[in-house]
Amino acid sequence: MDLELSEEQAAVRELAASFTDREIAPHAAAWDRAESVDRAIIGRLGKLGFLGLTLPEEYGGSGGDHLAYCLVLEELGRGDSAVRGIVSVSLGLVAKSVNAFGTEEQKRHWLPRLTSGEALGCFALTEPGTGSDAANLTTRAVRESDGHWSLSGGKTFITNGTWADVALVFARTGEPGHRGITAFLVPTDLPGFTRTEIHGKLGLRGQATAELSFDGVRVPDGARLGEVGKGFTVAMAALAKGRMSVAAGCVGIARACLEAAVRYAGEREQFGVPIASHQLVQQLLAGIAVDVEAARLLTWKVADHIDRGLPFATESSVAKLFASEAAVRAANNALQVFGGYGFIDEYPVGKYLRDARVMTLYEGTSQIHQLLIGRALTGVNAF
Ligand SMILES: Cc1cc2nc3c(=O)[nH]c(=O)nc-3n(C[C@H](O)[C@H](O)[C@H](O)COP(=O)(O)OP(=O)(O)OC[C@H]3O[C@@H](n4cnc5c(N)ncnc54)[C@H](O)[C@@H]3O)c2cc1C
pLDDT value, residue 187: 98
Whichever domain contains 126, its CATH number is 2.40.110.10
Identify whether residues 368 and 338 lie together within a single domain: yes
**Which ligand 1 atom is the nearest neighbour of the CA of 367?**
47
Identify whether residues 213 and 249 lie together within a single domain: no
Identify whether residues 187 and 314 lie together within a single domain: no
Per-residue pLDDT of the chain (383 residues), as tens digits, is 889 999 999 999 999 999 999 999 999 999 999 999 999 999 999 999 999 999 999 999 998 999 999 999 999 999 999 999 999 999 999 999 999 999 999 999 999 999 999 999 999 999 999 999 999 999 999 999 999 999 999 999 999 999 999 999 999 999 999 999 999 999 999 999 999 999 999 999 999 999 999 999 999 999 999 999 999 999 999 999 999 999 999 999 999 999 999 999 999 999 999 999 999 999 999 999 999 999 999 999 999 999 999 999 999 999 999 999 999 999 999 999 999 999 999 999 999 999 999 999 999 999 999 999 999 999 999 98
Q: Which residue among 177, 209, 229 closes a domain?
A: 229
Of 277, 155, 163, give the one whose Cα is nearest residue 217.
155
Q: Which of 132, 136, 246, 328 to mutate to test the pocket of ligand 1 (most atoms within 8 A of CB)?
A: 132
> What CA–CA distance (Å, rounded) separates 146 from 144?
6
**How many of the other CB atoms lie within 10 Å of CB of 162?**
18
**Computed from CA positions of residues 126, 128, 130, 136, in that sequence, does the dihedral angle turn out positive or negative?**
negative
Identify whether residues 156 and 250 lie together within a single domain: no
> What CA–CA distance (Å, rounded) separates 352 from 338?
13
Identify whether residues 357 and 239 lie together within a single domain: yes
Instruction: Verify whether residue 363 is a known catalytic residue.
Output: yes
Identify whether residues 266 and 361 lie together within a single domain: yes
Number of compact structural domains in the chain = 3
Identify whether residues 193 and 301 lie together within a single domain: no
Q: Beta strand pairing status for 269-270 and 224-225? A: unpaired
Identify whether residues 290 and 332 lie together within a single domain: yes
Q: Which residue among 120, 148, 166 closes a domain?
A: 120
Identify whether residues 86 and 215 lie together within a single domain: no
Rounded alpha-carbon distances, angstroms, from residue 376 to 34, 254, 314, 348: 43, 28, 7, 38
> What CA–CA distance (Å, rounded) separates 127 from 92?
20
Whichever domain contains 268, its CATH number is 1.20.140.10
89 lines ligand 1 (CB under 6 A): yes
Whether residue 222 lies inside any domain: the answer is: yes
Whether residue 160 lies inside any domain: the answer is: yes
pLDDT value, residue 383: 87
81 lines ligand 1 (CB under 6 A): no
Q: Which residue among 229, 249, 273 closes a domain?
A: 229
Rounded alpha-carbon distances, angstroms, from residue 178 to 49, 69, 157, 223, 227: 35, 30, 20, 20, 13
204 lines ligand 1 (CB under 6 A): yes
Whole-number Å distance, alpha carbon 113 to ligand 1 midpoint, is 30
Whole-number Å distance, alpha carbon 135 to ligand 1 midpoint, is 13
Task: Identify the H or E element spanning 94.
Answer: none
Full domain range(s) for residue 223:
122-229
Whole-number Å distance, alpha carbon 357 to ligand 1 midpoint, is 13
Whether residue 2 lies inside any domain: the answer is: no
Identify whether residues 240 and 209 lie together within a single domain: no
Q: Beta strand pairing status for 181-187 and 166-172? A: antiparallel
Identify whether residues 41 and 148 lie together within a single domain: no
Whether residue 215 lies inside any domain: the answer is: yes
